[in-house]
């Protein structure tokens, strides 16, 4: 189970805070060994790319 929180840092910046809770250390270790970390990192990389494109699109639209 997990909880994700978005924190407003001001000046158009945000922080994502995610906390995962596992029933046991073995469950946690199994998730890590499954490659979860790589998948999470790839997801955040895709989110970073999307946000950059959205920001660029908003800047271009503001010029018109």
CB 30, CB 24: distance < 8 Å = no
pLDDT band at residue 9 under the 50/70/90 scheme: very high
pTM: 0.64
Give the bridge partners for 14, in sequence order: 8
Give the bridge partners for 7, in sequence order: 15
Angle of helix 36-62 versus helix 25-33 axis, rounded to 10: 70
Element (H, E) at 14: strand 13-20
Q: What is the pLDDT of residue 64?
A: 73
Please give the Cα distance from 12 to 27 (Å, whole number). Answer: 37
């Amino acid at each position: 189970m997990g909880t994700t929180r978005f924190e407003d840092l001001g000046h158009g910046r945000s922080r994502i805070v995610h906390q995962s809770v596992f029933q046991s250390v073995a469950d946690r270790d199994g998730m890590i060994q499954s490659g979860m970390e790589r998948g999470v990192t790839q997801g955040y990389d895709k989110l970073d790319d999307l946000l950059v494109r959205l920001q660029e699109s908003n800047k271009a639209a503001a010029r018109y």
